Amino acid sequence: MVSGNFRLLNAHALTYLTINPGDLIHVTVFGRHVVLANSLSVASELFERRSRIYSDRPELTMLTMMGWDFNLAFKHYDDPLWKRHRKVFQRFFGSRSPISIQPIQEGQAQELLRQLADTPDLFFLHTRNYAASIIMHAVCGHEIIQKNTYLIKLATDAVDTLSEEVFFGAQVLFAFPSRECDLLLEIGILDVNAQLVKHLPEWFPGGAFKVLARETRQVTSTLQNIPVDLVKKSVASGSTIPCLTTELLELPDSKSEDALHESDIKALTATAFAGGIHTVESPLKSFFLAMVLYPEAQRRGKAEIDRVIGPGRLPTFQDQASLPYINAMCKEILRWHPSVPLGVAHSLLAEDEYEGYYIPKDTTVLSNIWAISRDERVYSEPDLFIPERFLNSDGTLNDGDSSFVFGFGRRVCPGRHMAEATIFMAVASVLSVYRISKAKDIFGRDIQVKEEYSSTGLITGPLPFRCSISPRSEEAKILLNNFS
């Protein structure tokens, strides 16, 4: 066990703390205990085998003040709403969902290819639209999203308030926004009692976070209300909209404790947007970055597509089992730069002991997903992008896995199946028609690309970079023209 006292803690800083994988790291942050599960074996032991006491979430005062407490990801383990909402999520976003998500993913992949053909330089925007459209079509139905394109912006703006304003250190600190932390610390409030700040007036030094909280509350409330209201209106006017919201609205009213009320449906739909956009957009951007930096991986991916699918059509989910290299590439994209590098904080419901170390009740326990992805005992040269690490020598998939990026135990990501399928469809479709390479400057020289990521926030992703995305052959041009 490594122990220390850190004033600021974020994913970037933790890179330097992973020298001792297999161990636990203990830090105190403003006198509070924080423990990092620094390897897969420790994370599995604590979050899975001891899940009964490791599945709570810490109190997140600021998130509640911002109106994000509707989200099941931040709810306490003993909150009946967590159990009820999670059940719905698992049913609808699991591998046997009653809403057919695959046709949405295939259709939106074509839309992504179209947008890349028109404005390839805007590929960051297109990957975000792709991730957002899939989740929004699944939740609100095609018709609503087609008629109300602003909904995608509403959802992404709302989630931006979370990822930009609340960084990891803040999560440990009961989620104060980063820029307010220093001030609150200086005036001694954080040390005294985090709850105290709730009662400070907005004009008080450090009280600006209350203005942010008030403004964000309006956004989170709109995010919950508008999509469901639109679907209800549309159904009332006679439209049939196959989507999560109509499925939930049509469930018979029941007096059982599992019954869903309108407020539950609103919370569930907004939770899907909050969880399913930025987390998926980040690995898709990593994919474009990897293709620029590792042309040999791109060549092998395309060769497999040519061999299995040929030039005349786009990939479908029917092809997935015959594309081991593309599947390995998707696993490696998730491992290479995990989009939620420290997971979502768990909290300990009762005191515990791990290998002789005492861990007090209410300790914040983080899964150090970043450290797990860098464990050299499992992944040789972990900083490199090597899809082959997930393949046997005969080219078939091995047992290797990067599912740790979705967290652990009873709080494991319920959107993981959907996320993996969304990523597969984008990767296979883009590689089937496009060549991704370094962009050129006005003198025709390659513009070098750096592997740089945003280092704060719950969710990380590549910083903007330039690359060239062009049809990879005459057949690809014809294919693109056919569905444009």
CA angle 71, 77, 80 (to 5 degrees): 75
Q: Please state, in angstroms and rounded to a whole number, the distance separating the CA atoms of residues 310 and 333.
A: 24
User: Interface with ligand HEM by CB under 6 A: which residues?
Assistant: 72-73, 86, 89, 93, 135, 271-272, 275-276, 279-280, 283, 339-340, 343-344, 346, 367, 405-408, 411-415, 418-419
Q: Which of 358, 371, 404, 347 is nearest to 44 (CA)?
A: 404
Nearer to ligand HEM, 75 or 210 (CB): 75
CB of residue 449 vs ligand HEM: minimum separation in angstroms?
A: 22
CB of residue 126 vs ligand HEM: minimum separation in angstroms?
A: 17
Residue type, 285: K
**Would you mind telling me the total number of residues written for the chain in this entry?**
484
CB of residue 392 vs ligand HEM: minimum separation in angstroms?
A: 25
Q: What does the DSSP 8-state code read for residue 446?
A: B
CA dihedral for 38, 39, 43, 46, sign (positive or negative): negative
Token pair of 199, please?
């009662």
Token pair of 403, please?
């599912």
Q: Please state, in angstroms and rounded to a whole number, the distance separating the CA atoms of residues 27 and 7.
A: 10
Q: Please state, in angstroms and rounded to a whole number, the distance separating the CA atoms of residues 43 and 46.
A: 5
Taking CA atoms, 134 is separated from 59, 101, 108, 127, 377, in Å, by: 31, 8, 7, 11, 37
Q: Which helix (H) or strand (E) holds 342?
A: none
Nearer to ligand HEM, 210 or 278 (CB): 278
Q: Please state, in angstroms and rounded to a whole number, the distance separating the CA atoms of residues 312 and 70.
A: 46
Quickly tell me which residue has 């005969």 as its tokens: 394
Q: What is the dihedral of CA 20, 25, 29, 32, to 10 degrees?
A: -170
CB of residue 272 vs ligand HEM: minimum separation in angstroms?
A: 5
Number of continuous H segments (helices) and E segments (strands) in the chain: 21, 9
Greatest Cα pair distance in the chain: 71
CA dihedral for 426, 427, 432, 437, sign (positive or negative): positive
Reduced DSSP (H G I as helix, E B as strand, rest coil) percent helix, strand, coil of the chain, to 5? 55, 10, 35
Please indicate if the annotation marks 413 as binding a ligand: yes
Residue type, 16: Y
Residues in the annotated binding site for heme? 413
Binding-site residue numbers are 413
